[in-house]
Amino acid sequence: MNTDLQAVLLTLLLAGVTTLLLALLATPLAWWLANARSRLRAVIESLVAMPLVLPPTVLGFYLLVMLNPDSLIGGMWVRVTGESLTFSFSGLVLASVIYSLPFMVQPLQSAFRAVPMSVRESAAVLGASPWDCFFNVVLPLAKRGFLTGSVLTFAHTIGEFGVVLMMGGNIPGETRVLSIAIYEHVETLNYDAAHVLAAGLMGFSFLSLWLVYRVAGQNAAVVRE
Amino acid sequence: MTQRLIIDGCLRRSAFTLQVQLDLGLDQPVGLQGVTGAGKTTLLRIIAGLEPDFTGHLQWGARVWTDSAKGISVPTHQRQLGVVFQDARLLPEMTVSQNLRFAVARAPSELSQHQLATIAEDFHVGDLMARPVEALSGGERQRVSLVQALLRRPQLLLLDEPLSANDRYHRRQVASQLSDWLRREQVPLICVSHSTDELNLLTHTTLRMDAGRVVAQGATSDMLESATARTHMAAKILEIDTTRGEVKFQWDSLEDATGIAAWKPGDRIFVGYQPERRSEVGAPLKPESEEDQQ
C-alpha cells in the first residue's frame, strides 16, 4: 500500500503541475484562437485537437523519439538540467501538457469567444487599454472556462496511461502513476489492490465531470467538436 | 478655445457606403438626425475609432486621430471619449457601482466619493448602485451608461439615442441635468436623437444624415422645423384590410413627435387620403377609452 500511496501522490502532483502550466500556456493560445481570422487558425486548432484523436501510444512513441537523450531536444535538456526527459517526472509533465492541451484550450477558447465584441468596445471607450481590458474584463468573464478547463485537465491527466507507459515506464516515485500501478496490480493478479485504486479513480472522475457540468450549465460540451 | 472635429473619408460596406467631409465646430453641442440606416451610429463609431475599415482623415483639434494614408490610428482608449451606445452596453457581471468605478479609475482626474454620489443622484441612478447590471431596465441601463460616460471625464461626448428607453419623466429630468452638466463642464457633445425635445434642449446646431452622407446642417430649431414642414405626413400606409378593419402602416421615426409609436392595435385613428399625393395617416384620434370618459 505504501507504494500505492506514493503512486497516488505522484499522480496528484503531476496533474496539479500540468494544470497550472497549461492554464498559463493555454490562455494566450486560446485568446489568439478565439480572435484570429488568419488561415493559420484552422491549422493550429487541428494540432491542438490531435491528442483527442491520436492513440496515446502514438503520442508517447513520438515523444519518446523526440525527447530521448540522444535527440536534439532531449540532449539539450540533459545538458542544461543534467537529467533525462524520458523516464523522468519532468518528461511526464511535458508529455501531460501536450496530451491534455485540448482539454484546457477548448473550454478557454469557447469562454473567450463568448465575450461579446461590444463589451470589449465599451471597456476601450472607458479608457481601458487592450491589456487592461483582457485582465479586468475578459478574464473575469471567462472564469467558468478556466474552471472547466482546469477540472478537465486535472482529471484527464490523472487518467493518463498510454503516454506514461511509452515514455515514462514504471519507476516508483518518479513515473509510477496511478494508472500504471493499477495495470501492474492486474498483471500480477493482485485484484484487491487494483479495485481500491480503480474504484477511487472512477469516483474521482465522476465527481470532476459532475462539477464541470454543474458549473458550466447546460450549454457546455466537455469536448467541443 | 475652438473645438473642431475634422472628418474626411469614407467607409464601404457591402450594402452601405458612408462618405463624409465635415469641418465641425463643437463650441456648441451638435445634434445628428436622420432616418434609421442613414449612418448616424456609424459616424459616431468612426469618431470613436471603432471602425477599423474607415479610410481617410479624422482630426480632433490639433490631434490627428486617424490618417489611413500615414497609417495613423489612435486607439479608442486613448481618445478620452464619453460614449453612450444605442444599446446602452455596460460591463456584464458587475454591479452598477463597479461599472461606474471602472470609469472613474481610468479617468484622467481624481473623483471623490462624494462627487460620485452627487452625479449618480443627479442622473437618477443613486438607488441602483448595488444592483447587478443584468437586473436593470432599458431606461436604467441608459442612465447608468450616461453617468459612466460623464465620469470618464471625456474631452468629447458622443451620445447615440441616450434616453430613448426612458419614460417621459426621466427623459426630461435627465436631459435637463445633462444640459446643465454640459454647460458647467464645457464638454463638446455630438448627440444622435430622434426626439425633437431632446435635440432642442441639448443641441445648438444639427446635422441631418441620409444614406451615409451629411445632407443638411443648420440651427437645431430651424432643422427640426424644416423636418416637420417637409413631411407633414405622419406615416405611409402599406395595406388596408377593409374586411377586418386593419391598417398596416410604416412611419419614419423622425416623425415620432406625433406620438405614433405609442399607438396600440385597436386604437382608432383618422386616415386621410389625397389622390395627388400618397396615402397618409393623419392626426390620431383620442384612444377609445379616453373618448368614452368624455
- Asked if residue B225 has pLDDT above 80, the reply is no
Mind giving me the DSSP string for A6-69?
Answer: HHHHHHHHHHHHHHHHHHHHHHHHHHHHHH--STHHHHHHHHHHHHHHS-HHHHHHHHHHHHST
Give pLDDT, residue B198: 85
pLDDT tens digits, A15-72? 999 999 999 999 999 999 999 988 999 999 999 999 999 998 899 999 899 888 888 8
Interface mutation target, options B73, B77, B109, B153, chain A, most CBs of A under 10 Å: B77
C-alpha cell at A21: 502550466
Task: For residue B232, name the pLDDT band (cuts at 50, 70, 90).
Answer: very low
Residue with more model confidence, B273 or B54 = B54
CB-CB under 8 Å, B92 with A127:
no
- Asked if residue B272 has pLDDT above 60, the reply is no
pLDDT tens digits, A142-159? 998 999 999 999 999 998
- Asked if residue A161 has pLDDT above 50, the reply is yes
Helix (H, G, I), strand (E, B) or coil at B273: strand
Give pLDDT, residue B294: 33
- Asked if residue B205 has pLDDT above 50, the reply is yes
Give pLDDT, residue B278: 43
Task: Name the residue in chain B with its Cα closest to that of A121.
Answer: B50
Report, as an integer, the average pLDDT of B263-271.
66
Task: For residue B150, name the pLDDT band (cuts at 50, 70, 90).
Answer: very high
Distance from CA of B187 to the nearest CA of A (A): 16
Question: Between B75, B91, B148, which is nearest A119 by CB?
Answer: B91
Give the sign of the dihedral formed by CA B159, CA B160, CA B166, CA B172: positive
ipTM value for the complex? 0.77
C-alpha separations of A95 from A9, A100, B129, B199, B202 in Å? 18, 9, 49, 65, 64
Helix (H, G, I), strand (E, B) or coil at B101: helix
Report, as an integer, the average pLDDT of B220-244.
66
Residue with more model confidence, A81 or B96 = B96
- Cα–Cα nearest to B190, from B218, B226, B160: B160
Please, what is the average pLDDT of chain B? 83
Interface mutation target, options B47, B50, B144, chain A, most CBs of A under 10 Å: B50
Residue with more model confidence, A2 or B13 = B13
Residue with more model confidence, A190 or B287 = A190
Residue with more model confidence, B266 or B76 = B76
- Cα–Cα nearest to B9, from B60, B59, B58, B73: B58
- Cα–Cα nearest to B68, from B26, B9, B142: B9
Residues of A in contact with B81 (CB under 8 A): 125
pLDDT tens digits, B112-132? 889 999 999 999 999 999 999
CA B239 to CA B44: how far, in whole Å? 36
**What count of CB pairs under 8 Å joins A to B?**
57
Give pLDDT, residue B130: 94
Give pLDDT, residue B196: 81
Report, as an integer, the average pLDDT of B247-259.
61
Mind giving me the DSSP string for B123-154?
Answer: TT-GGGTTSBGGG--HHHHHHHHHHHHHHT--
Task: For residue B258, name the pLDDT band (cuts at 50, 70, 90).
Answer: low
Task: For residue B222, name the pLDDT band (cuts at 50, 70, 90).
Answer: confident
Task: For residue A128, name the pLDDT band (cuts at 50, 70, 90).
Answer: very high
C-alpha separations of A135 from A129, A130, B278 in Å? 10, 9, 57
Residue with more model confidence, B230 or B205 = B205
Task: For residue B23, name the pLDDT band (cuts at 50, 70, 90).
Answer: very high
Please, what is the average pLDDT of chain A? 89
Task: For residue B280, name the pLDDT band (cuts at 50, 70, 90).
Answer: very low
Task: For residue B220, name the pLDDT band (cuts at 50, 70, 90).
Answer: confident
Distance from CA of A112 to the nearest CA of B (A): 14
- Degrees (nearest 5) of the Cα angle A214, A102, B93? 45
Report, as an integer, the average pLDDT of A108-123.
95
- Phi first, then psi, for residue B30 (nearest 5°) are -115, 135
Residues of A in contact with B85 (CB under 8 A): 118, 121-122
C-alpha separations of A99 from A19, A54, A225 in Å? 11, 10, 17
pLDDT tens digits, A86-109? 888 989 999 999 999 999 999 999
- Asked if residue A121 has pLDDT above 50, the reply is yes
- Asked if residue B246 has pLDDT above 80, the reply is no
CB-CB under 8 Å, B81 with A121:
no
DSSP B257: G
Residues of B in contact with A123 (CB under 8 A): 77, 91, 102
- Asked if residue A221 has pLDDT above 50, the reply is no
Give pLDDT, residue B256: 53
Give pLDDT, residue B7: 95
Angle between helices A143-158 and A2-35 (to 10 degrees): 140
- Asked if residue B267 has pLDDT above 70, the reply is no
Task: For residue B218, name the pLDDT band (cuts at 50, 70, 90).
Answer: confident
Of the listed ranges A42-51, A184-193, B220-229, B279-288, the least confidently predicted one is B279-288
Give pLDDT, residue B112: 87
Q: Which of A75-89, A113-127, B183-197 has the highest mean pLDDT?
A: A113-127
B133, B92 contact by CB (below 8 A): yes
Give pLDDT, residue A224: 43
Give pLDDT, residue B189: 95
Task: For residue B283, name the pLDDT band (cuts at 50, 70, 90).
Answer: very low
